[in-house]
Structure 1
């Protein structure tokens, strides 16, 4: 079953992350397909990305460090948090990232969110999103 043009959930996908989505009372049924599609896109964006569960939601790691995590309690749409690990880094004031996609909404100098309204929104921005994830996890 192909979920995204960039990949499908597979060996690097966490079964517990999939269960976190399916069993979460915070995820409307209409958003579950969008979240699964995004999971596949993130996993397919870089061969070094793996998945686990953080904050009771799917989280994606590169080099053993959490970098992108779903926020399953978002009030509107599907939200992903782009961060640089569990703790704020000492170099956060000097951190620079060029978001050519325009998808990031900055929370702080080194944390941001991406919000998609629905699956159509994801598909319309998929290529830019995958490029963004690939760049983010490699910074």
Structure 2
């Protein structure tokens, strides 16, 4: 009887431990940016910043273009921002589904231009945003 009770208690404890572990399917696979992505991490350089500057020049010249910016939260979760310039507006798709502490949603909106202030890049005049939408910043 005691042996059966011990086995039941061990099984219940095992199920409790397994049930209480945090598992997030979106974060279960490590995200790896592509070689062409603009990557901005806290306390680091902006990777492919020259591509970001080229994209800004193309928008100023009215040339169609697109990029993906990957920023990381302080916890290390990637936020993916795809930006397409259609010749008039910047069409933005922001994906924060991998961020455990964020809104975990995908948003689509339009902006008028990208503002570069030194090594800080933001989009301004965006639908639904009163403040500039932060893109990347060199924090080194």
Task: Tell me which interval the TM-score lies in, with the shorter structure as reference length.
Answer: under 0.3
- Per residue, is there more strand in 1 or in 2? 2
- Per residue, is there more helix in 1 or in 2? 1
